[in-house]
Structure 1
Amino acid sequence: MNHPMIDQIEKSGYPNMVEQPEHVGIDYFGDEILDGDDIVEYDGEIILRDNLERYLTQVMEFEFKTA
């Protein structure tokens, strides 16, 4: 006699335990953008908010300093 969960898995396969967010694109640096991610659009480029400082320093040559 099997556990009921084992019987269910044998009949219908493993359930999707974690719902995956939908992929909606790639940002300037090639990072995957998922549904719900914060993005910034500038001059036709899409940048993940997490990559904004990187974009400003590497691409726009901004310098961040402490006063």
Structure 2
Amino acid sequence: MIKTDELRGIIAKNGLSQTDVAKMIGITPKTFYEKMKIGIFGSDEIQIMIDNLNIADPMSIFFAQK
């Protein structure tokens, strides 16, 4: 389960919008919002976000326990 609130904070801290991140990982903004809603991204998408958003502790965000 992804901690979407923390991910939104990291996106904002990087001065980006969710639309910017959607383009970065190669999906439409609508698809990005849907993935945020259900809390599931593909491994390639996660890796791109980790690299481009400088996420220091990806395990706590992308692989969080309920």
TM interval, shorter chain, is under 0.3
Point out the structure with the larger strand share.
1
TM-score (norm 1): 0.22
Larger radius of gyration: 1
